[in-house]
Every structure is written in C-alpha cells, then in structure tokens.
C-alpha cells in the first residue's frame, strides 16, 4: 500500500468511528444558508483528517469543505508536482443530521491537475471505495466495474439538487422531469460522493448534478473513470473539477444522457430569449 493510501485509510477509519458514534445522537446543527447545514461532526471529522494529512505530508495542500484546510489554490502558480488533497469530511450532512444512513467521507489526492487516488468510505455499511489512477477501482478490496445497461429506458439514474434549489426549483425540476420521463428510475440519495461510487460499482447507471464542488466529486470522478465509466459536463465536453456541471455514467448511456441535458439547456435558453 502506498503511503498516501495508508495515511488516508488510517485517518478515514478514525473518522468512521466518530461518525458511527454520532449519527443517531442529537445534533448540534448550524445553517450556512437557508438549506445548507453543518454539524459539529463535520468540523470534528475535518479537523481530524486535515491534522493527519498535514502531519504526514507537510508540503501538500488540503482543500476541505469546512475551511480548516488551506485556502483556495492559486491556479496560476499551481505546478505539475504540487499535491492537493480534496476532502469532504461528511458528504450527505442533511442525511446525517436526520439519522438517514446515506453519507460518507470523501477524500482524493491530485498531483498537478491529475487525480491520482480516491477513497470514499460509507461508515454505516462499512463500504470502502478506492481508486488509483491507471490501476482500477475496488470496493472493500474487490475490483469493481460499471454496469452494462445500454438503454436509458432501462437505466437507474441519480441526481441531487444544489443549495439554491428553493430559488430555482422550476429550473432544476425541468432537468429532473426529462429523466423521469425517459429513464427506468430516478433516485435522489443525498450524497453525491456515494452516487458516483454507485455508478462506479454498477448499482447506478448514470448521475447528473448541478453546482457540485471539488470536494464533493474529486474522489467519485476518479472512481467512475477507473471503473470504466465516463465523466464530462452536460454537453459531453471535458469535465472541469471547478465547473458547474457533473455528468457521470457507465459510458454506454453517456451520449443519450448528454443529448437529453443539452436539449433541455437549449430549451431553457430559447425560452429565456423569447
């Protein structure tokens, strides 16, 4: 096991103990926005993992959701040999706060702009998804791969809604409606990191979501790719970790999902112009 994986796994295993102890307890919840909440556990897990990473890799940058890591990366001076960790200490905070068992720790390492290593751990099911660039993806040590579903009508697709959903509900529901009409089923599970892992291991066939942040998706994107799937933006142009659109699939459904999303984007822009 390489030192990145060893340190990451040890830190995430410690975090899993905290998460399992806290998930059914009363929560100390604070609102960051009208629907965006954070618990004391998000902060405790983040502090723990950032501390372990800094102790082991003092030269690395850590970008973490609750801002206990380093500040945003200066894109201009970001070198090919710079290591950056992306940490979401608790992806699925709303689920966690309600005692709904669908949340995870999501951790990825990039060198330069290239994702190298991913670890997503669901502490309730004790499922550990790991990927190494060029070496495939595993679930609890067993190799995983994307599904074989090749028709959107037979596909189980997941999504989520961003934190400005109250202000733009109809806009996001327009995209949701297209998939409800076309796919076999649509799920909204509340953890984008796990949604991507589920695409990687074939439990889901595709996933799309607006406005995810690098710490939500960095690990899941590498997992999907290493499991044989594809990730892009909605128009099937290259995925940008700092962009607004995430489309992931088993590869076979990718062009149909992108066509549906593109058509919807064009409908809304034509409506806005008229």
Regarding beta strands 83-91 and 61-64, do their DSSP bridges make them parallel or antiparallel, or are they unpaired?
parallel
Say whether residue 233 binds ligand IPD (CB under 6 A). Answer: no
Say whether residue 122 binds ligand IPD (CB under 6 A). Answer: no
Say whether residue 216 binds ligand IPD (CB under 6 A). Answer: yes
Residue 182 beta carbon to ligand IPD: minimum distance, rounded to whole angstroms:
21
Tell me the longest C-alpha to C-alpha distance in the chain: 58
Site residues for ligand IPD, window 68-107 (CB under 6 A)?
A: 88, 91-94
Cβ proximity to Ca ion, 155 vs 215, nearer residue: 215
Measured N-to-C along each axis, helices 40-56 and 3-22 cross at an angle, to the nearest 10 degrees, of 160
Residue 212 beta carbon to ligand IPD: minimum distance, rounded to whole angstroms:
6
Residue nearest ligand IPD, CB atom distance: 160
Site residues for ligand IPD, window 20-79 (CB under 6 A)?
A: none
**What is the Cα Rg of the chain in Å?**
18
DSSP 238: B
Say whether residue 192 binds ligand IPD (CB under 6 A). Answer: yes
CA dihedral 191, 197, 198, 201 (to 10 degrees): -170
Cα–Cα distance measured from residue 264 to residue 274, given in angstroms and rounded to the nearest whole number: 15
Say whether residue 229 binds ligand IPD (CB under 6 A). Answer: no
Cβ proximity to ligand IPD, 88 vs 205, nearer residue: 88
Residue 144 beta carbon to ligand IPD: minimum distance, rounded to whole angstroms:
20
Element (H, E) at 128: strand 127-132
Cβ proximity to ligand IPD, 122 vs 132, nearer residue: 122
Name the one range near ligand IPD by CB under 6 A: 19-27, 107-115, 184-192, 236-244.
Answer: 184-192
> Quick one: which of 191, 245, 249, 250 contacts ligand IPD (CB under 6 A)?
191
Name the one range near ligand IPD by CB under 6 A: 11-19, 159-167, 196-204, 219-227.
Answer: 159-167
Cβ proximity to ligand IPD, 93 vs 132, nearer residue: 93
Regarding beta strands 206-210 and 156-159, do their DSSP bridges make them parallel or antiparallel, or are they unpaired?
parallel
What are the backbone dihedrals phi and psi of residue 134, each rounded to the nearest 5 degrees, phi first? 80, 0
Contact residues for 270 (Cβ-Cβ < 8 A; gap 6+): none
Cβ proximity to Ca ion, 88 vs 226, nearer residue: 88
Cα–Cα distance measured from residue 117 to residue 111, given in angstroms and rounded to the nearest whole number: 9
Element (H, E) at 41: helix 40-56
Where does this chain bind ligand IPD (CB under 6 A)? Answer: 88, 91-94, 160-162, 190-192, 212, 216
């Amino acid at each position: 096991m390489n030192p990145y994986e060893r340190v990451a796994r040890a830190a995430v295993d410690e975090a899993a103990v905290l998460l399992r102890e806290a998930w059914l307890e009363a929560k100390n919840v604070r609102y960051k926005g009208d629907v965006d909440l954070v618990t004391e556990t998000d902060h405790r897990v983040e502090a723990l993992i950032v501390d372990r990473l800094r102790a082991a890799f003092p030269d690395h940058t850590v970008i973490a959701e609750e801002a206990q890591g380093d500040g945003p990366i200066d894109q201009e001076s970001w070198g090919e040999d710079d290591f950056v960790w992306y940490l979401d200490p608790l992806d699925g905070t709303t689920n966690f706060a309600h005692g709904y068992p669908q949340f995870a720790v999501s951790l990825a390492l990039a060198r330069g702009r290239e994702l190298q290593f991913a670890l997503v751990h669901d502490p309730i099911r004790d499922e550990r998804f790991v990927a190494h660039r060029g070496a495939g993806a595993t679930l609890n040590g067993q190799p995983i791969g994307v599904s074989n579903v090749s028709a959107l009508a037979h596909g189980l697709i997941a999504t989520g809604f961003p934190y400005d959903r109250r202000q733009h509900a109809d806009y996001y529901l327009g995209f949701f409606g297209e998939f409800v009409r076309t796919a076999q089923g649509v799920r909204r599970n509340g953890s984008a990191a796990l949604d991507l892992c589920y695409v990687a291991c074939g439990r889901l066939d595709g996933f799309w979501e607006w406005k995810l942040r690098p710490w939500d998706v960095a690990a899941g994107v590498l997992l999907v790719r290493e499991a044989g799937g594809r990730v892009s933006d909605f128009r099937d142009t290259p995925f940008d970790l700092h962009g607004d659109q995430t489309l992931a699939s088993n590869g076979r459904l990718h062009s149909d999902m992108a066509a549906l999303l593109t058509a919807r984007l064009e409908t809304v822009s034509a409506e806005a112009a008229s």
